[in-house]
Structure 1
Amino acid sequence: MNKTYCPSLTEYKRRLSREVKIGDVPMGGLNPIRVQSMTTVDTMDTLGSVEQTLRMVEAGCEYVRITAPSVKEAQNLLEIKKELRKRGCNVPLIADIHFTPNAAELAARIVEKVRVNPGNYADKKKFDIIEYTDASYAAEVERIRERFRPLVQICKQYGTAMRIGTNHGSLSDRILSRYGDTPLGMVESALEFLRLCEEENYYDVVLSMKASNTQVMVQAYRLLVQKLDEEGLQPYPLHLGVTEAGEAEDGRIKSAVGIGTLLEDGIGDTVRVSLTEAPEAEAPVAKMLIDRYTNRAAEAKPIVAVSSQLLAASSSGKEANSQQLTANSSDNDSSPIDPFQYFRRYTREVLNLGGQNVPRVIADVSRLPSVEYADLRCAGHLYSAFLDKFQMNDLGADYLYSGQRPVPFMLPNGLKEIVDYSAWLDAGQRAEHFPALTPAEYAVTAARHPQLNFVFQNLGSLTPAALDQLRADSTAVVILHTDNAHAMPEIRRAFFELINAGVTCPVIIKREYPELQAEQTQLYAATDVGGLLLDGLGDGVVLSTELLSERSKEEWLTTLDQLNQLSFGILQAARTRMSKTEYISCPSCGRTLFDLQETTAMIRKRTDHLKGVKIGIMGCIVNGPGEMADADYGYVGVGKGKIALYRGQEVIKKSVPEAQAVDDLIELMREDGKWIEPVKLEEPVGV
């Protein structure tokens, strides 16, 4: 199986794509990674669209997408463009098309780029199960090609670029019947259109593989790159995005998990972060993600496994143990996993880590000036003085790491503590404490906990001797860390070393960030940790930060609370541990039939205690049952003031008045046994 989908798994190299000219702002090739977003104003509101576009450009948008659901909106793109040019704004405009080929053909004569969705451009989605013979399938493909051909010819004539944008949730019934709801189906949906473009000698094409499920999204982009190469097609530039990412912190984390994972491997030529917020809020987030890679190649340290270093030493005549030079370690850039399909790394269970357990969250309180009962609220454990007991919320950490200063009181039931090895010895090797050893301590010490021992490791410390020791130790859990700027690929390489050596101990991913803006920490941690989780690598996470000593204790606690919430948010965004309600909400556009931000906030207020329930909130039928893909319930605009409610992809109630729609949604959950009444926790001490 060809697993190649990026230039290198260990060295930062950007995939070199074909350059596509979009107005005066070319994409791909050696150009910077571009930023784009989409207007939310009704396209028929010319001045409103112009004013919003100007705000978006001011915020950093290099391309602006505008919906054209029918011919009249496509025609009005000309008026919007005229007014923008009159005001000195030359930003390239992109027409967003669903269902209406005639609108696309008109828009292609006006704007610099059109976006079409192969799932609904000339195909259909009615959730019908259709049995196709090879002949009937081929005939249907040919029908679609002939419907698509005029647009290709118009784009070629007018010098208009095109994005063939597959969405996971809007794959046609035809594609689903043959490929299922899979990344391969997404890729094939786009390739059908792309092959016709190449037959017509039209190459100004951009591709995208968007999904709300980050695992599916990343796998689809990787598979697309591999298939383009396999078929000898042009290396077209890629537009990255996670559809319906949501709002606020959750939306940013989810976007970074998907987009950042691909950027780490040099994949992507333009980015759109889809937030349920004003579109001008999206560009700064996209730019923050992109800017991390501006100097990545220069800042990164070489990623070379110890076993590869030993092999090099042996080949140059230096002393090395030939028994340590295994065939598995001969290729430093090889992958032992399938990058196109999710499989969690096999691990043995050690206490409640690894095996079939969900990934665990460790809260690092080792730098707190002191630890009191009330301080544990930063780890999701709230102490009630009235009840004289702890209560844990849905984001309660599983372990505390206290370093050299063990917590001086009995921890609440279920919460476990990790302490440095020397402190564990000094504390009398208490049963409820688990030691964390350095590689040097682990190599020589005999005194260990009989059930669970944590070992700090990095790629450089994973020597053949260390791998042998870990393989034989049924109590070991590795805490894997790095100080390399190219962090995610280095930790991934360390995982590969463990897999190749047959080491099955659980692994906690540790990342530490210097003093960054809170949003930078969100995006960087979501990328570094989320990118590993998407490949099934990791049995837990611990996030740490360096805070200046003059910071107050309250500032420490606030930051640690944010890191704890961030850890759970990353696990949820990567679909590896569901600890809260997930909202799959579209970012709004000119098609939206209600105030998405206000409605999302209202639904969140009523339902954010429903752990693990996924609710899709879609502004129109285009982003309706298909786009919310695997949501449990859907709230979809179908007309002014009218809502359709879905159970999965089945419509349950049509044309519900907006004023009663949330109540009806809750009643639907109640009927399904998914509704629970919210419980208010006692206020913790000090709050």
Structure 2
Amino acid sequence: MKNLNYHRRSTWPVKVGKVELGGDNPIRLQSMTSTSTMDSEGSVAQIKRIIDAGGEIVRLTAQGVREAENLADISSRLRAEGIDTPLVADIHFNPRAAFAAASRVEKVRINPGNFVDPGRVFKKIDYTDEEYAAEILKIEEGLLPLLEICREHSTALRIGVNHGSLSDRIMSRYGDTPAGMVESALEFLRVCLKHDFRDVVISIKASNVGVMVETVRRLVAAMDAEDMHFPLHLGVTEAGDAEDGRIKSAVGIGSLLADGIGDTIRVSLSEEPECEIPVAKAITEFIDGLSNGKEVPEVNQPEGYNEFNPDRRCSEWSDKLPQIVGLDIPVSEMDTALTVMAEDGLTDELADKLKEDASRTVVLDSADANAIGHIKAFMFGMMNRGLRNPVVIRRDYSGLNDEQLVIAASIELGSLLLAGFADGLWIEAEGYQRQRLNDMALAILQAARLRISKTEFISCPGCGRTLYDLQSTLRDIKAATSHLKGLKIGVMGCIVNGPGEMADADYGYVGAAAGKISLYKGKECIEKNIPSAEAIEHLIALIKANGDWVEPEK
């Protein structure tokens, strides 16, 4: 039986300085600075803006030992002002930077893809089982010194797996898959438990929302199987900016939080970092409201239902892209549909009526705070009875302001889309134009990768590693290419996740050095070290050379 009432996953609590996360603690909000870590004054000012917005934990990049050591100066300046917000060092490629940071900040984030293994070059390596086991031993040898420093200084550790930076070793055995991402995390977690180090938080992220959600669910199942209960940090990497970035983040983070998974979140936007916190707050406030819903009756999960990566439910509309009421379907046509409130349940009488005419559309609505749970239960009931009627999910968000509307619709509808349940979406909200609501529905469908209606920009939020003005560049790239429907363009500040996260993109624009840009077609670097002033022109030429350019409509 499936329990669809809202309840948090039970995790071990972890202290990060004064802040405890996991256990019975609230979902913690965090962000990351975009300043140079060598700029103490600028970093302190930005950290204070993040804290003023409601951030509880702040991360800074530490490329090398010099930056790691300067974290002590940033911390001391904050402590002198009475600010005790925990700081986190973000480490890639450089274990020595991690060792230096672990005595200076409250948490260190390492990436299993490049902490012991060398950075990926997309090289296939054929290991024997014995050779692979020897590589695993190297992880323990490399990680143990960091665990000892963290233990001595009561420093927490984040093991942060990114889809864009899996090692060639993992890729060679598992491929670029959720299974590989999960195993990358587990290899490090097993070492932590072997040496009784439990002050560990895990993140496992991707820019593709579906991949991110599936992978986190698989990680939770794998940890349960090994009796691990580490808290989870959630985020969608390279979500972009503006409303699309907010929608993509809310669909991914919100879908997992609604399942009770997640203890701390970061919304990654290509904007000033303090702009991320209000979005994170709106997500957690919506999730808190789920517990106010009335009880959802237990229901059998349909046989063959893949809870990690569900297929779209078979219906009379399965051959169509998900429809939008008001765009593909006039509102007037829904007069012939059967409108049902999910919390009323699927009665025998209703099931018989639907079975009589499998083409009759069901408009499934809910007035309950936990509409997600009630709608999922109703849909499971339909699947268990073999009912193939098309289902349009209708939600009315009247009374919400614009930000609340975007977040609520993205979490609710995104969760149901990723569960495979919707043949159509119908958003209502008093005071909003139909076109506005249609555009929002299309953006949610695109975030779930179920219907593509515009260019998708995979852009990182920027950090101290960023090698050009990310925000203005993203605006300029959007202005030049946003008419290229269906094209995916990556805009990345540096090479840490660049080529990897852009494996899902058609074209990539990546910071290569100060003022220099490299351009990619998929994973392949086509041009290196272009002056940034010329790089957008070169990007357009690359798109044209590959036949993907169309002229914008005048």
Class of the TM-score when normalised by the shorter of the 2 chains: over 0.9
Question: Which residue among 105, 125, 130 is the counterpart of 2:125?
Answer: 130
- Using a 3 Å threshold, how does the CA distance of structure 1 residues 471 and 130 change in structure 2: closer, same or farther? farther
- Using a 3 Å threshold, how does the CA distance of structure 1 residues 333 and 78 change in structure 2: closer, same or farther? farther
Tell me which residue corresponds to 1:683: none
Tell me which residue corresponds to 1:292: 286
Tell me which residue corresponds to 2:149: 154
**Alignment partners' CA distance in 1, 2:300 and 2:112:** 35
Moved over 6 A (4+): none
The amino acid of 1:302's aligned partner reads E
Tell me which residue corresponds to 2:337: 436
The amino acid of 1:84's aligned partner reads L
Q: Deviations over 1:502-525 (max 9, x none)?
A: 112221111111211101110110
**Alignment partners' CA distance in 1, 2:531 and 2:426:** 46
Deviates more, 1:182-191 or 1:458-467: 458-467
The alignment status of 1:358 with 2:321, answered yes or no, reads yes
**Alignment partners' CA distance in 1, 2:494 and 2:474:** 14
The DSSP-based 3-state class of the residue aligned with 2:20 is coil
The DSSP-based 3-state class of the residue aligned with 1:601 is helix
Structure showing greater Rg: 1
Tell me which residue corresponds to 2:441: 567
**Alignment partners' CA distance in 2, 1:82 and 1:121:** 28
Tell me which residue corresponds to 1:302: 295
Tell me which residue corresponds to 1:145: 140
The alignment status of 1:523 with 2:407, answered yes or no, reads yes
2:358–2:387 Cα contact (<8 Å) kept: no
Tell me which residue corresponds to 1:273: 267
Question: Which residue among 197, 201, 209 is the counterpart of 2:196?
Answer: 201
1:1-40 equivalent positions in 2, closer than 5 A? 9-40=3-34
1:333-482 equivalent positions in 2, closer than 5 A? 334=301, 336=303, 337-348=305-316, 354-363=317-326, 397-402=327-332, 418-420=333-335, 435-438=336-339, 456=340, 458-482=342-366
Task: Tell me the CA shift for residue 627 of structure 1.
Answer: 2.6
The alignment status of 1:82 with 2:76, answered yes or no, reads yes
Tell me which residue corresponds to 1:63: 57
The alignment status of 1:483 with 2:367, answered yes or no, reads yes
Q: State TM-score, norm by structure 2.
A: 0.97
The DSSP-based 3-state class of the residue aligned with 1:228 is helix
Tell me which residue corresponds to 2:527: 653
Question: Which residue among 520, 540, 543 is the counterpart of 1:666?
Answer: 540
Question: Which residue among 154, 158, 170 is the counterpart of 2:165?
Answer: 170
**Alignment partners' CA distance in 2, 1:576 and 1:606:** 25
Task: Tell me the CA shift for residue 462 of structure 1.
Answer: 2.2
1:215–1:342 Cα contact (<8 Å) kept: no
Task: Tell me the CA shift for residue 675 of structure 1.
Answer: 0.6
**Alignment partners' CA distance in 2, 1:524 and 1:629:** 30
Q: For structure 2, which runs of at least 5 residues remain unmatched after alignment?
A: none
The DSSP-based 3-state class of the residue aligned with 2:361 is strand
Task: Tell me the CA shift for residue 341 of structure 1.
Answer: 2.3
Task: Tell me the CA shift for residue 273 of structure 1.
Answer: 0.3
Q: State TM-score, norm by structure 1.
A: 0.79
**Alignment partners' CA distance in 1, 2:437 and 2:505:** 27
Q: For structure 1, which runs of at least 5 residues remain unmatched after alignment?
A: 305-330, 349-353, 364-396, 403-417, 421-434, 439-455, 548-555, 681-687
Q: Deviations over 1:359-387 (max 9, x none)?
A: 11112xxxxxxxxxxxxxxxxxxxxxxxx
Tell me which residue corresponds to 1:608: 482
2:299–2:381 Cα contact (<8 Å) kept: no
Q: Deviations over 1:313-332 (max 9, x none)?
A: xxxxxxxxxxxxxxxxxx52
**Alignment partners' CA distance in 2, 1:437 and 1:112:** 56
The alignment status of 1:542 with 2:432, answered yes or no, reads no
Task: Tell me the CA shift for residue 266 of structure 1.
Answer: 1.2
**Alignment partners' CA distance in 2, 1:619 and 1:38:** 14
**Alignment partners' CA distance in 1, 2:53 and 2:459:** 22
Deviates more, 1:524-533 or 1:354-363: 354-363
The amino acid of 2:514's aligned partner reads K
1:177-256 equivalent positions in 2, closer than 5 A? 177-233=172-228, 235-256=229-250
Q: Deviations over 1:222-261 (max 9, x none)?
A: 111111110122x111101000000000000000000000
**Alignment partners' CA distance in 1, 2:226 and 2:263:** 21
**Alignment partners' CA distance in 1, 2:325 and 2:505:** 29
Q: Deviations over 1:564-611 (max 9, x none)?
A: 111000000001001000000000100001111101000000111111
2:338–2:363 Cα contact (<8 Å) kept: no
2:203–2:234 Cα contact (<8 Å) kept: yes
The DSSP-based 3-state class of the residue aligned with 2:14 is coil
The amino acid of 2:405's aligned partner reads T
Tell me which residue corresponds to 2:471: 597
Tell me which residue corresponds to 2:387: 503
2:270–2:462 Cα contact (<8 Å) kept: yes
2:338–2:361 Cα contact (<8 Å) kept: no
Q: Deviations over 1:149-195 (max 9, x none)?
A: 11111111211000101111111111111112221211110010010
Aligned residues: 552
Task: Tell me the CA shift for residue 468 of structure 1.
Answer: 3.1
2:345–2:378 Cα contact (<8 Å) kept: no
Tell me which residue corresponds to 2:115: 121
The DSSP-based 3-state class of the residue aligned with 1:597 is helix
**Alignment partners' CA distance in 2, 1:332 and 1:342:** 17
Task: Tell me the CA shift for residue 335 of structure 1.
Answer: 5.2
**Alignment partners' CA distance in 2, 1:461 and 1:32:** 32
1:9–1:265 Cα contact (<8 Å) kept: no
2:302–2:384 Cα contact (<8 Å) kept: no
The amino acid of 1:539's aligned partner reads D
Q: Which structure: greater helix fraction?
A: 2
**Alignment partners' CA distance in 2, 1:489 and 1:465:** 22
Q: Deviations over 1:297-348 (max 9, x none)?
A: 2x201112xxxxxxxxxxxxxxxxxxxxxxxxxx526354212224221223
Question: Which residue among 634, 637, 651 is the counterpart of 2:511?
Answer: 637
Tell me which residue corresponds to 1:332: 299
The amino acid of 1:249's aligned partner reads E
The amino acid of 1:356's aligned partner reads D
Q: Deviations over 1:96-120 (max 9, x none)?
A: 0000000001100110000011011
Task: Tell me the CA shift for residue 461 of structure 1.
Answer: 5.0
Task: Tell me the CA shift for residue 458 of structure 1.
Answer: 2.8
The DSSP-based 3-state class of the residue aligned with 2:287 is coil
Question: Which residue among 77, 85, 88 is the counterpart of 1:91?
Answer: 85
2:59–2:90 Cα contact (<8 Å) kept: yes
1:586–1:623 Cα contact (<8 Å) kept: no
**Alignment partners' CA distance in 1, 2:469 and 2:319:** 41
Task: Tell me the CA shift for residue 419 of structure 1.
Answer: 4.9
**Alignment partners' CA distance in 2, 1:296 and 1:457:** 17
- Using a 3 Å threshold, how does the CA distance of structure 1 residues 342 and 303 change in structure 2: closer, same or farther? closer
Percent sequence identity is 52
